[in-house]
Chain A
Amino acid sequence: MATLGNSANIFWHECPVGQAERQKLLNQKGCVVWITGLSGSGKSTLACTLGRELHSRGHLSYVLDGDNLRHGLNKNLGFAPEDRTENIRRVGEVAKLFADAGLICIASLISPYQKDRDSCRALLPDANFIEVFMNMPLSLCEGRDPKGLYKLARAGKIKGFTGIDDPYEAPLNCEIELRQINGVCPAPSEMAGKVVSYLDSKGFLQA
């Protein structure tokens, strides 16, 4: 019996079917691919493309998109710093469950603060958290402005918008960094291919 956080008198229930058995069934290893970057940097696009690439190779993945989760699990959270932290914490915990289930879990959210991303990293065994940094310049992201948010932020209609009046702390030790080449953004399929190669080289695409 243990007390954890605010939960007293809880136990840990073990089960005979564990991660190893599930991974054998799926012929892959569960992990978390954490895609971070400014709004408009292409995180969701990469997540989707990566999911498709993995599916085409017979691998089960699932995308946890920051916006999509804010429609459900995280709909009671706003964008104040403490809510962003809680948002990321919850996504990290859910990603951990998905990785434990044997899935390749692709988390796609701005996740601007290093401390919060590091906390998620700490939830998983070291090699199973793969941080992918969409290192695209603010000018590119703002030029795209797919949701019109940069415009609203510049007009002062949104406060605390990452990149405009809230910081983005670039990862110091990400596993994969994706950048423009000579001012041109690589195709999503190319970037996804890099992530797939990485996963393959690290043994995640086999049991």
Chain B
Amino acid sequence: MIGVTNKSLILLGCPELDFGKSTSSSSRKLGFPKQRVPVSFDFCGINKGLSGSPPVRSSFLAPLKAMDGSRTSSTASSSYLNDKVANFPEIHLSGCNSDDNVTVNDCKDVLKTSTVGNSTNIVWHKCSVEKSDRQELLGQKGCVIWITGLSGSGKSTLACALCRGLHARGKLTYILDGDNVRHGLNRDLSFKAEDRAENIRRIGEVAKLFADAGVICIASLISPYRKDRDACRALLPDGAFIEVFMDVPLQVCEARDPKGLYKLARAGKIKGFTGIDDPYEPPLNSEIALHQKVGLCDSPHDLAETVISYLEEKGYLEP
């Protein structure tokens, strides 16, 4: 019996719900016709199945591949967010948190907590759906494309062109634009050096989450200091951080001056403006460097295709 108010759905008892066992399996991808296929899988060693799902309306999805028991019942202390082993004690969702009905005092397992930074008494919660599952669903590998360069070098323009090119190939991307993120998550930060560092740190952490979700995340921000960019690189598995350097001379950027900021900076109305009175430290080892000379600029589409070719070559456009 379910009580439903205007806004609340109160679960009072659902005898009609019966997630019975099932046996067959097949793979699932976006973009392919879906069939209703029941699924069985191991969930922390407890064999439970799901009945056939409610009637499917989608015409895009292929049948589901059953998740490996080996993945879901893993007891290795592996990171939820990437393939590196993390030394965090983690909860495997079994015992009193399993699919069994529980009563009070059923679970006496106590997990060891840890302290990270200022956060005390936390544990790492591992989930049975992992990055590889999402990547298979999406038909791509999650990664971070980090576009760095002076203001006016064309970062946002490239990000959009890249997004468009990848979307046309059926890939899921998301842009984290420095300015846009400063409208929300980073609205509490200024342009002082320590806030720039925190701005970049937070964007790096969010980009990492997107990559873990299987998304090709395009971060587009000046990110002038090498140390900060390197710290973001260190958050991700090798190869999953793709630094793209918009190597455009200051002269070209200033001539463009799309936001009128160089003019303000030259007039002394903005202090600490990158390229004028604050340094830009070019990458020493970027994966891709897009050189633009005075009077000779490739189109955003062509620049985007360069990046897409790189992604293709490295296998990011397949699961």
Contacts and interface: CB of A to CB of B under 8 A. Distances in A.
B184 A93 contact: yes
A44 to B, nearest CB: 4
Contact of B121 (A51, A52, A60, A158): A158
A15 B159 contact: yes
A177 B10 CA distance: 5
B183 A198 contact: no
B294 interface: no
A17 B28 contact: no
B8 A185 contact: no
B193 interface: no
B298 interface: no
B150 interface: no
Interface in A115-141: 123, 139-140
Nearest to A133: B8
A173 B6 CA distance: 9
Interface string B48-61: 10100110111011
Interface stretch (B131-139, B276-284, B310-318): B131-139
Interface residues of A, number: 99
A48 B125 contact: yes
B111 interface: yes
A206 interface: yes
Interface string B6-40: 01111111100101000000001011001000010
Nearest to A188: B99
Interface string A86-127: 000010011011101111000010000000000000010000
Contacts of B255: none
B93 A72 contact: no
A154 interface: no
B109 A146 contact: yes
Contacts of A164: none
A79 B91 CA distance: 21
Interface in A1-52: 1, 4-13, 15-17, 21-22, 25-27, 42, 44-45, 47-49, 51-52
Given A52-B129, A58-B28, A67-B124, A12 B119 contact: no
B99 A206 contact: no
Contacts of B17: 190, 193
Contacts of B259: 1, 9, 11
Contact of B191 (A8, A47, A74, A148): A8
B179 A13 contact: yes
Given A67-B123, A145-B110, A146-B91, A194 B11 contact: yes
A188 B11 CA distance: 12
Contact of B119 (A15, A74, A188): A74
B127 A25 contact: no
Interface stretch (B168-176, B245-253, B301-309): B168-176
B49 to A, nearest CB: 10
B189 interface: yes
Contact of A10 (B182, B205, B214): B182
Contacts of B31: 25
A189 B19 contact: yes
B72 to A, nearest CB: 9
A152 B93 CA distance: 22
Given A27-B30, A190-B17, A193-B19, A97 B101 contact: no
23 contacts: A6-B190, A25-B170, A49-B93, A53-B50, A55-B134, A56-B50, A57-B61, A64-B209, A67-B124, A71-B88, A71-B119, A75-B118, A83-B118, A93-B184, A94-B206, A98-B213, A139-B104, A175-B7, A177-B10, A187-B100, A187-B101, A188-B93, A189-B99
Interface of B: 2, 7-14, 17, 19, 28, 30-31, 34, 39, 43, 48, 50, 53-54, 56-58, 60-62, 64, 67, 80-81, 86, 88, 91, 93, 96-107, 109-111, 113, 116-125, 127-129, 133-134, 137-138, 156, 159-160, 163-164, 167, 170, 172-177, 179-180, 182-191, 195, 202, 205-206, 208-210, 212-215, 220, 235, 259-261, 264, 270
Given A148-B113, A186-B14, 11 more contacts: A22-B172, A51-B127, A51-B128, A58-B28, A68-B80, A98-B209, A101-B172, A103-B213, A103-B215, A123-B184, A175-B9
Top 7 closest pairs, chain A to chain B, by CB: A75-B117, A5-B187, A58-B61, A70-B119, A73-B205, A93-B185, A6-B190
Interface of A: 1, 4-13, 15-17, 21-22, 25-27, 42, 44-45, 47-49, 51-53, 55-58, 60-65, 67-68, 70-79, 83, 90, 93-94, 96-98, 100-103, 108, 123, 139-140, 143-149, 152, 158, 173-179, 181, 183-191, 193-194, 196-198, 200, 205-206
